[in-house]
Structure 1
Amino acid sequence: MKIKPKSKMKEFFKDIFEYHNHFNQKLAEQLTENENEITSRTIPLFSHSINAQQIWNARILNKSQFGVHELHSLEECKRIDNDNFKNVIKILNERELDELISYCNSKGEEFKNSIQQILFHVANHFTHHKGQIISDLRQNGISPIVTDYIFYKR
């Protein structure tokens, strides 16, 4: 059976979000173990990255959204991240990647983007903030976990 290109792209996104979920959970554990040594920006940054995915999922699924800078405990972040992962899988299973989503940003401006564009943005957003968090850990003498995608696939 030949796989359609759209199906390949959906499988790609499932893989990427599985990777992010895996390392978000591990990173939350490392942050918990070192909570007294991390900077004051680390947990808010981690919460923000988790919130962003929740917000984008909610825009697609027409559900209520978190605040972009809403603060959560690390345990809450782990739970929310797992919920986010389940919701992105639901989106990938039930929606088309080229479907346009209308939404308003935090300034009230209206936009439309495809689900594929949104998911790509969320994946990049995680990568960006994960790098910042890892940098914070290093600056505080904590050896961060290795979160490179290629290591995950090995």
Structure 2
Amino acid sequence: MIPFFRDLFDYHHQTNQRLADQLIEHEVRLTDRSIPLFSHMINAHQIWNARILDLVPLGVFQVHSLKDCKALDGENFDKSLQILDSFDLSQPCFYTNSKGQTFENSIRDILFHATNHMTHHRGQLISDLRQNGMTSIVTDYIFYKR
């Protein structure tokens, strides 16, 4: 599983970096939701990493500049690799969500959730770009693998 997750996080990191570059290049043409949505996607990844590593989380809807999002994505990638190198993926992680509810999930399930969450919101961002007449980067995993 560890090589699989390394590959997934590498894919997401490379794709997020390219998307950040595109968003920065076309910032004046973005919708009002694009930067908050990209920030949320980055924040959520950081929050899941922070729960596993017992670090201080960002706010789930905290808004960052696109340049800061790009830097935070790099930090998220590094922390995810640290998790893969340091934890048994079947190990349970006990955490409290943003509503104060306590849960337990395996680290494997949390990491997989984090990757799905990025895919979901990146798709929304790509849709926004296209609806505003912009050609988006290709974000499909299979293109990354080719």
Identity %: 58
Measured against aligned partners, the alpha-carbon deviations of 1:14-70 in whole angstroms (never above 9, x if no partner) come to 000000000100000000111011101001000000000000000000000000000
Q: Which runs of 4+ in 1 moved over 6 A?
A: none
Post-superposition CA distance 1:98-125 (Å, at most 9, x none): 0101011111010000000000100000
| C-alpha separation in 1, matches of 2:132 and 2:76 | 29
Partner of 1:24: 16
User: What is aligned with 1:145?
Assistant: 137
Match for residue 122 of structure 1? 114
RMSD: 0.4
- Residue in structure 2 matched with residue 69 of structure 1 by the alignment: 61
Deviation of 1:92 after TM superposition, in Å, equals 0.2
- How many pairs are equivalent? 146
2-structure distance, mates of 1:151, 1:111: 36
Given residue 45 of structure 1, which amino acid in structure 2 is its aligned partner?
Answer: L
Consecutive unaligned residues in structure 1, runs of 5 or more: 1-8
Corresponding residue number in structure 2 for 1:79: 71
1:51 and 2:43 equivalent?
A: yes
TM-score, normalising length: structure 1: 0.94
Asked which structure has the greater CA Rg, the reply is 1
Alignment match of 1:96 (pick from 88, 100, 103)? 88
Per the normalisation by structure 2, the TM-score is 0.99
